[in-house]
Amino acid sequence: MPGSPAADVGSLHVLLVEDEPAHAELIAIAFQMQGNRHRLTVMENMETARAALASDSFDIVLIDLLLPDGRGTELIPEDAWRADYPVILLTSHGGEQIAVEAMKAGAHDYLVKTGTVFAEMPAIIERVVREWREIRRRREAEKALLHVSRLVTVGELIAGIAHEVNQPLFAMQNLSHACRTVLEQDAPDTEFLKSCLDDISEAAERAGRIVHRLKRFIRNSEPERTESEIVDVVKEAIAFLKFELQRSHVALLVSSDESISPIRIDRLQIQQVLVNLIKNAIEAIELAGTELRRIEISISRQDQDVIISVADSGPGVSVTGQDVFAAFNTTKPEGLGMGLAIRRTIVEAHGGRLTYRPGPANGAVFELRLPVVV
């Protein structure tokens, strides 16, 4: 709230990696003038800094950009947002290029060394730690919300998942009965038995794949972005909804450009977005009750983006523009209206966009646009 007092960050352990003794001394004096509330550890190069980071814990790390044995950016953890501490880069010469380098490397902030900055360092680190902790808190909350959202989706699809698992189990049961019958004969047909065993093995593997896919979808794991083929991600999302499509007698058509570049995504999160969009399309078509029951998914490349379009033959959306994505906006009697809002948050976190437009004749078209790997 505006005007609220800043949260107390407590006593902090600060690592300063600085090879200029005069600069290190000025920062140390600033901490002393504050009453040594925070503990300051000073290292002069990357080698000793790495040793300190490996053997001790710190609440924040200040790193000079240019050190005797390398650039300070090399000390920033590869996945900085998962680190236990924020990093501030210090430099004697500011500029846009240095700022870009610092942010790309994962620094929370960068500062140009001046007497004023040195004197205000205790207040600066407290501000940064507060911001860092709030970001971490929000990320944990978002992670929990996404996990709950996936569990809700699985709950809605549980009948289809059970049906999908039962198919190979039923096949295994029938095949095992057939094997028992053959074995009771005076001269068992060994070739038939081998064929049955092969079919049982295949059915068991199919059931295992279904369970593995479900476990992977619902696990509460840390976000992880990897280069992925979007066509494969779309196919995995469709596999979750196979029973729903069959039950609703909805035809699903998929078209894709021949060469689609890989995209760097959290595969699970984007799969979650696609499952939600396709499921919404199925429900819209059921609501319309029209003879034309079709969903078309197209995957294409436009400039530096991969575009996944999900179009349905339903009645369309009653609201217009971005109101579709407003939280708590729903047409479902028991819906919370959070589905599309969450999906758009996921897409925007990937540097992409999720948009809606009415279909050319009827229905709705949702377009998911994601940047390609460069």
pTM: 0.56
The highest-confidence range among 117-121, 173-177, 263-267, by mean pLDDT, is 117-121
* Residues 268, 141: Cα–Cα separation, whole Å: 17
- Per-residue confidence (pLDDT) for residue 286, from 0 to 100: 87
Q: Do residue 274 and residue 359 come from a single domain?
A: yes
Q: DSSP 3-state assignment of 301?
A: strand
| Residue 158 C-alpha from the chain's centroid | 23
Q: Do residue 239 and residue 322 come from a single domain?
A: yes
Percent of the chain at pLDDT > 90 equals 31
More confident residue, 36 or 332: 36
Tell me if 7 is assigned to some domain. no
Q: What pLDDT digit, counting tens, does each position of 30-80 carry?
A: 999 988 899 999 999 999 999 999 999 999 999 999 999 999 889 888 776
**Count of beta carbons in the 10 Å neighbourhood of residue 110:** 22
- 186: tokens are 């005076």
Q: DSSP 3-state assignment of 364?
A: strand
* Residues 8, 21: Cα–Cα separation, whole Å: 30
- Per-residue confidence (pLDDT) for residue 339, from 0 to 100: 62
> What's the whole-number mean pLDDT along residues 103-128?
90
Tell me if 269 is assigned to some domain. yes
| pLDDT exceeds 60 at position 239 | yes
* Residues 103, 357: Cα–Cα separation, whole Å: 35
Residue 299, CB half-sphere, CA atoms under 13 Å: how many?
21
Q: What pLDDT band is residue 159 in, cutting at 50, 70 and 90? A: low
Percent of the chain at pLDDT > 70 equals 86
- Per-residue confidence (pLDDT) for residue 49, from 0 to 100: 95
Among 86, 117, 143, residue at a domain's last position: 143
Distances from the Cα of 2 to the Cα of 6, 225, 252, angstroms: 10, 36, 51
Average pLDDT over the chain, rounded to whole?
83
Q: What pLDDT digit, counting tens, does each position of 2-25 carry?
A: 444 556 888 999 999 999 999 999
Q: What pLDDT digit, counting tens, does each position of 195-212 carry?
A: 889 989 988 887 887 787
Number of domains comprising the chain: 3
Residue 54: CATH number of its domain: 3.40.50.2300
Range of the domain at 167: 157-220
Residue 22 contacts residue 114 (beta carbons within 8 Å): no
Q: Do residue 336 and residue 234 come from a single domain?
A: yes
Largest separation between any pair of C-alpha atoms in the chain: 98
Q: Do residue 272 and residue 324 come from a single domain?
A: yes
| pLDDT exceeds 70 at position 338 | no
Q: Do residue 268 and residue 359 come from a single domain?
A: yes
Tell me if 152 is assigned to some domain. no
